[in-house]
Amino acid sequence: MIRKLIITAAFAAVSTISLSAISGPDKIIPQPVDFSVADGIYNLKTDGSDIKVYLSSPAFADKVKDLPDFAKEEAYELTVGKKGVKIYAMTEEGAFRARQALEMMRLIDRDIAYCSIFDYPRFQHRGIMLDESRSFKGKDFILKQIDALALLRMNVMHLHLTDAAGWRLQIDAYPDLTDHVAWRVGETYHEWEGLGYPFTNAQDSKAYGGFYTKDDIREIVAYAAERHIDIIPEIEMPGHSMEVNRAYPEIACVGEDGKPRPFSWDLCVGNDGTFKFLETVLEEVIELFPYKYIHIGGDEAVKKDWEECVNCRKRMEEEGMKHKNELQGYLVRHIEKFLRERGKTVIGWDEIVETGLPEEAVVMSWRGTPGGIKAASEGHDVIMSPNSYVYLDYYQDLIRKEPKAVGHMQSLRHVYKYDPLEGIDPEYHHHILGLQGNLWCELIPYAAHAEYMLYPRAFAIAEIGWTPQEDREFFHFRERCLMLITVFRSMGYNTFDLFNESLRAQTGRLRFDDPTFKLL
């Protein structure tokens, strides 16, 4: 018993590290590609007058000439010395990434060691998805998370704006989407489900929900653009669409009795009105979101009502389809062509691989990694987002000490060990655009809870996406996380308590004598 108490005390002592009195590139997340630290300390001026930026200098251009185009755009060189700070970059985006690295050093401690950094990202897509349908958190929350992503040198925010539990985007042509299905009874998805899927309006005292106006979206997109972050909207189809059928039952599947099925999970692919609806909605979406990608969902279509829908059966007969699954491929290809003609590229969850994948569509692999591996091997661009590693709605510590969550434990260590290129033939590495962490919010109704699930695991996703695989090491990363947790809390973010993380979460092991265990 005495030995156990001593070991426990020692472990607690090393787990609660003391923050360094001097900051530098060895303290920040993501870890830079190359850096050095010299003797001397510099304290930044508050007005920024000691920071000099040089764009497209011949010497720096030569230094980055062999990098992929996306890496050139974000590459930077940063030096801190006796006379202040110098930043070299090819673009304003690269200079901004340098400023964010400098800002993270400053936030850790105003005393910054003389140092030199040469840096660029490993992957071009480094993102976080926020599920605003199941849990509407609002504009201020989104702007706050954009600031966090910018500090972490991430560059994509994916907003899941439509799903059965609520439509979250103003569409002028279809006002009932926000008048009638943006508000529900039940704070969590499962409460709403247990009550029989009741929608209501904003005036109801029991109402939970809300939506983004077009002005909200314009403000969010502009704010993100200033921080060199792109916003990807997701308009879910054909599954996860009960709210559309409830708002506009005239385009829902129709049974033999001639009655619409407004509780149907899926859009009716047999109804021409469905395509008019989607095209009209997407025209308004295109006007709001300038980034080249639009996510169309494509996951978890139930397809049950398609079997009994007179319009779906008619469509299958007219198109020579032999199986209901072909209806999904028909819709995806139609929408992909519609968006491509308007200069947009479709992203879909990996189910779209199974029903006739359009040549230019990008696959987001969520059901583990097989869908992404298959798509890449067939020549399609892929964003890796496997639920086996980067689903942030999963438990991050022992179930008994955490708020109710989904799935098994995916601790910070588990997330950090993911490599998006694992299992991918080197011949197809160029098709892996990057990775994304997903925060689904069926059980997360409030902003503070969402932040608790995001941080620090988003730190790991940032480093996976930026730092070379061979330079990543968990124990040093975790020490930096402890520093950054303190910084994030000082800025008002509600983070997971990494200082009191369980032994099981830290190590994946329960025994101190396990040879893979290392005191932190």
The residue ranges of every structural domain in the chain are 25-119, 125-474
163 labelled catalytic: yes
Residues 344 and 68: their CA atoms lie apart, in Å, by 22
d(CA 149, CA 168): 22
- Spot the catalytic one: 158, 228, 240, 414: 240
240 belongs to the catalytic site: yes
Given the DSSP bridges, would you call strands 362-365 and 345-349 parallel, antiparallel or unpaired? parallel
Tokens linked to 52:
């000099």
Q: Residue 266's closest CA among 335, 201, 325?
A: 325
Ordered per-residue pLDDT tens for the chain, 520 residues: 323 222 233 333 333 344 456 999 999 999 999 999 999 999 999 999 999 999 999 999 999 999 999 999 999 999 999 999 999 999 999 999 999 999 999 999 999 999 999 999 999 999 999 999 999 999 999 999 999 999 999 999 999 999 999 999 999 999 999 999 999 999 999 999 999 999 999 999 999 999 999 999 999 999 999 999 999 999 999 999 999 999 999 999 999 999 999 999 999 999 999 999 999 999 999 999 999 999 999 999 999 999 999 999 999 999 999 999 999 999 999 999 999 999 999 999 999 999 889 989 999 999 999 999 999 999 999 999 999 999 999 999 999 999 999 988 999 999 999 999 999 999 999 999 999 999 999 999 999 999 999 999 999 999 999 999 999 999 999 999 999 999 999 999 999 999 999 999 998 754 334 344 343 3
pLDDT of residue 509: 53
Helices (H), 165-268: 176-179, 189-194, 214-226, 242-247
Give catalytic status of residue 69 as yes or no: no
Backbone phi, then psi, for 231, in 5-degree steps? -105, 125
pLDDT at 359: 87
Look at residues 330, 139, 323, 131 and name the one whose alpha carbon lies nearest to residue 240: 131
Residue pair 330/285 in contact by the 8 Å Cβ criterion: no
With beta carbons less than 8 A apart as the criterion, state whether 411 and 397 touch. yes
CA atoms within 13 A on the CB side of 42: 24
429, 421 in Cβ contact below 8 A?
Answer: yes
Among 82, 90, 76, 75, which Cα is nearest to 50's? Answer: 82
> Beta strand 84-89 with 162-163: parallel, antiparallel or unpaired?
unpaired
Determine which one of 111, 300, 471, 479 is catalytic.
300
The structural architecture, per CATH, of the domain 25-119 is 2-Layer Sandwich (3.30)
Strands (E), 132-196: 156-160, 162-163, 166-167, 183-185
Q: Which of 132, 163, 230, 501 is catalytic?
A: 163
Would you state the CATH architecture of domain 125-474?
Alpha-Beta Barrel (3.20)
pLDDT at 14: 37
pLDDT score for 16: 39
The CA distances from residue 361 to 230, 289, 324, 379, 394, in Å, are 18, 18, 22, 11, 28
